[in-house]
Amino acid sequence: MSFAYTTQRILEIVGDDAEFSGEYIGEIAGIASLAEAMAGDLSFLGNPKYRDAVASSAASVLLLPRDYTETPKAGQLQIKLDNPSYALALLCRDMERSLQPLPAPGVHPTAFIDVDAIVSPAASIGPFCCIGKGAVVGAAVLEAHVCVGKYANVGDESHLFSQVVIGDYCVIGERNRLHPGCVIGSDGYGYEFIDGAHQRVPQIGNVVTEADVDVGANTAIDRARFGSTVIGAGTKIDNLVQIAHNVRIGKHCLIIGQSGISGSTELGNGVVLAGQAGVAGHLKIGDGAMIAGGAGVPHSLEPNAKVRGPTGEPMMLYNRIMVLQRRLPDLFKRFDKLEKSVESLPECGTIE
């Protein structure tokens, strides 16, 4: 991948309110970390712990926080902004459009589209896609081997990467990004044990994702037993996540890799579920709650709660417990020593 950006173009992208000092005449042809950057590269300071690395960086252009006061080297341009990391994201977004341009509208000759499906002329339908009876596809991009089920709906400007499956009757909102191998609308996991066997409970609902939802690779979101499993607008779901039937996730939540949410649980807005965390079923997780990586949550949480550990304890309490656990070996040694001291004391006579 190759690109070339003038400093003027960089300033146009990151914003007119940026402050800058120093000068670099030339183009930027690479992006690298502070330590690895060379002349002609752009780098940034997004984490304060790397602040000391700025002075020794060989990058020609540096995106820095406004409070950075060190002077640039000769031939080096410092661009100071409120959020250097987001400024870099804006720059990369512009690069992405040129490095990975969207395919032109049209239908690949190997794709199958049912005669009763409706596909926008602005859509791009890739090789070996399958669009079922009654499905509606807006001005979206469907890469190779995408399957859209019967009467499903895919919103405008959504991007479905290769081998995505959209189940029957499911609704994908506008500007969704569904990464390779994710499955929207697989059966909810429902069985009744009758006469010595597990009898399948039909799952006749659907999944609805609202606008600007991202779903990571190989994530599964199950259709509802009845009604809808709902993913709120702006929510971002990582790879390898399991979301069960009838779950309702609020707006702008972050669901991190290998986490799981059991059936009929409701997450409020702005909830963060960190990696490998699990939430039991039929719970309510309040707005702004944060669940730490590897935590298990067996009970509902109030808004803005912060929990850790296998039983979802308040974060500060769990931190104290962990500190005390580390002291247990020493405490046991002290207890053993104390016990032996007590046993060695002479027995006292009976007081008349």
pLDDT tens-digit readout, 65-92:
999 999 999 999 999 999 999 999 999 9
pLDDT at 331: 84
Same domain, 59 and 202: no
- The answer to whether residues 166 and 296 belong to one domain is yes
Same domain, 195 and 87: no
> How far is the C-alpha of 80 from the C-alpha of 21, rounded, in Å?
8
Residue 338, in any domain of the structure: no
- Report the domain count for the chain: 2
Q: Does residue 49 share a domain with residue 19? A: yes
Asked if residue 301 has pLDDT above 60, the reply is yes
Task: Please tell me whether residues 43 and 171 are part of one structural domain.
Answer: no
* Beta-strand pair 206-209/228-231: parallel
346 lies in a domain?
Answer: no
- Which tokens in the block code for residue 329? 């070996």
Q: Which of 275, 270, 224, 280 is nearest to 247 (CA)?
A: 224
Phi, psi of 172 (to 5 degrees): -105, 125
Q: Is 10 helix (H, G, I), strand (E, B) or coil?
A: helix
Q: Is the pLDDT of residue 336 over 90?
A: no
Residues 94 and 114 in one domain: no
Catalytic residue positions, numbered: 245
Instruction: Examine residue 249 and state whether it is found in any structural domain, yes or no.
Output: yes
Note whether 135 and 155 are same-domain residues: yes
Q: Do 134 and 250 sit in the same domain of this protein? A: yes
Is the same domain home to 67 and 120?
no
In whole angstroms, give the CA distance from residue 258 to residue 322. Answer: 24
Q: What is the pLDDT of residue 169?
A: 98
Q: Are residues 138 and 231 in the same domain?
A: yes
| pLDDT the model gives residue 348 | 64
Residue 23's CATH number: 3.40.1390.10
Q: Tell me which DSSP letter residue 283 carries.
A: -
147, 158, 214, 112 alpha-carbon torsion, rounded to 10°: 10
Domain identity same for 133 and 252: yes
Query: Quick check: is 229 in a domain?
Result: yes
Q: Which of 68, 99, 130 represents a domain boundary (last residue)? A: 99
In a domain, 333, yes or no: no
Q: What is the pLDDT of residues 210-228, one digit of tens each?
A: 999 999 999 999 999 999 9
The 10s digit of each residue's pLDDT in 239-290 is 999 999 999 999 999 999 999 999 999 999 999 999 999 999 999 999 999 9
Q: What is the extent of the structural domain holding 10?
A: 5-99
Question: Is 351 among the domain residues?
Answer: no
Is the sign of the CA dihedral 151, 154, 160, 166 positive or negative?
negative
CB atoms within 10 A of CB 110: 12
Question: Looking at the structure, do residues 216 and 259 belong to the same domain, yes or no?
Answer: yes
Res 351 pLDDT > 60:
no
Q: Which residues make Cβ contacts (< 8 Å) with residue 5, sequence separation at least 6?
A: 27, 28, 42, 91, 95
